[in-house]
Structure 1
Amino acid sequence: MISIATWNINSVRLRMPLVERYLAEHAPDVLCLQEIKTVAELFPAEAFAALGYTYQAVHGQKGYHGVATVSRIPITEVSRHDWQANGEARHVGVRIDGCGVELHNVYIPAGGDEPDREVNPKFGQKLDFLARMTDWASAIDQPTIICGDFNIAPLESDVWSHKALLKVVSHTPIEVETLAAFQAAHGFVDVGRQLIPAPERSYSWWSYRAKDWRANDKGRRLDHIWASPDVAAKASAHRVFEDARDWEKCSDHVPLITEFDL
């Protein structure tokens, strides 16, 4: 049994005490982090190693973006795709040694505020990023898991109000359609919804703007763990650790963890 967690940490150096707490309490075998916001040379590698996460694949960038996969079990880095086509550090892929499965950690662009590529280039960049991911997915020929901050809540039940968010970036029809095309290119299974079926509530992000996020509960399911059909069939449990949103100096995202019998 292998447990894989994903968490947009929103600065790993700032929030390393929270990461250490999560790893001590929940001990996933593999942790995929997004928005580490640091170059690899300043990544807290020794702190992770002290907790037993000695296998590390870090694709960092100064001050922005960045992804890292740390593991207690052997992993080998296999790829770093520039799906943004501008050099931003938004992906790292590893092979989980001994089981023949690749694990891809991705941070899809947020896309700005206006869902129109003509007036908001960031939105167009997000859609183009997904198109490049789709081309990659269509050529996958091995068991694969992809996880991270997708910055899209695809289902009506993935947001606090489908009607209110239809024109809000992260839940617009064109984003949902574009993500669905990526999913179909390889036949990825949304493991989170396989194990916590819609319309059950399953959010992973709440805005910092809400003074009381629990009472307000205007959440979105922006973070995902998807897998090839044969790997998804081996998923046995999926949890969203909402309590991390209450921790001091927390990220606006919370960790997800899925167990696979690989």
Structure 2
Amino acid sequence: MTKVYPDARSALDGLLFDGMLIAAGGFGLCGIPELLIAAIREAGTRDLTVASNNAGVDGFGLGVLLESRQVRRMMSSYVGENAEFMRQYLSGELELEFNPQGTLAERMRAGGAGIPGFYTRTGVGTVVAEGKPHMDFDGQTYVLERGIVADLAIVKAWKADETGNLVFRKTARNFNVPAATCGRVCVAEVEEIVPAGSLDPDAIHLPGIYVHRLIAGAHEKRIEQRTVRARPEARSDDTAAAGSEV
């Protein structure tokens, strides 16, 4: 049975339903499943809960699902780059469950590993820990965090083989690996699909057993915060000559 689908719309066919929980990989605009996000917007699926480090930016990434009012609740650790996210949250239109960044990643990893919960010191004594069970270990207080098991995981990798083995490029590994493992179904988008056996086994970051459907496509790859240096002023001939004599 092939895992390769012709496009994002067909890869999501039969998987989407209102009120579902989606785990989305990516960090800012790095390694985000932009083609699958666009297909979810086109499908019009509503009342979504999305577990993701952040929600993209205005007009791109998960930000497009916020703009279309398809997201009811976010489980995130950083939301500072999205003005629409802030507006909806402060106006009471969007529910938000804040998670420390490492805790959110571990919640996804735990869910994928079949671990229902774990204790961590992170967040103890803050609003993050309110209403959660506490336990003392070796004289320190820990808070219980639950593993995340999503109805669907959407991730973006650099390269895959036909069986779904994934290779991520540099920091695009970020949340993609734990997000992929915690989904009951995982759909991955990649830049290139190669024949089975083409990838070095030692270079595979996520085994194909976690990936159920796969697409390849072109990606925009926006830069979230473009920071550049001003071009140095050209030196005069006299300055250049003087410099060459030193």
- Common fold, TM-score beyond 0.5? no
TM-score, length basis structure 1: 0.33
Higher relative contact order (CA 8 A, sep 6+): 2
The structure that has the greater radius of gyration is 2
